[in-house]
Amino acid sequence: MNIQAINNFFGDMDLFLMDLILKGHIKAGFKVLDIGCGEGRNGVYFIQQGFEYHGWDTDESKLRLLEYLSNSIENANVNFVKLDLRDATGEEKFDLIICSRVLHFANSKEDFDLMWSKLSESLKVGGVLYLSMDSAIDTDIGQVVENGQVEFPDSNVRFVLTNVIYKEIKKGFEEIEPLRTLVHHQKRAQSFICLKKL
């Protein structure tokens, strides 16, 4: 398979999410929730492959764009909802939750805990979670501001994942891939988490 064919198949998906697929952690028939789905960077593959795909985002225009794109895919099984994670009910359960670059928008530890509880409630037992967010793990990039937030050299202020928070959120989960932290040109750091709910 050449590079163009690979790109057409996976699109602009996060590499560590692609890694989960290639290692067989994500099974055909999974009911997928993409929190903060945006224009579908991580979702297009799942829509094209016939997964039941649910996209949540607070930006209606991005949801409409992804809906328009999905209309061009034969037999797409999709549902798009304008929804802030904080307002989720947890009534509907999913086999896979993708939460890429959302939780670092928490305003405080309490806000993060609320978002985490809503996310966790929506995942089935045995379900897989793929999470990425800005991080202070294994790096000293940025200055602590307040409420668990860090100002990075790129001037963004974000809530960050720490070793303490990671230990807290792993309760009731099994790590299916080791946590990875990536430093972006000494401007910010991002951690990638892959967990299975027990």
- Fold (topology level) of 3-197: Rossmann fold (3.40.50)
Q: What is the predicted pLDDT for the residue at 185?
A: 79
Mean residue pLDDT across the chain = 92
- Cα end-to-end distance, the chain, whole Å: 37
> Can you give the residue ranges of every domain in the chain?
3-197
Q: Is the pLDDT of residue 8 over 70?
A: no
Whole-model pTM? 0.93
The one-character DSSP state at 182 is: E
Distance CA 55, CA 38 (A): 8
The model's pLDDT over 147-173, given as tens digits with 9 standing for 90+, comes to 888 888 888 889 999 999 999 999 999
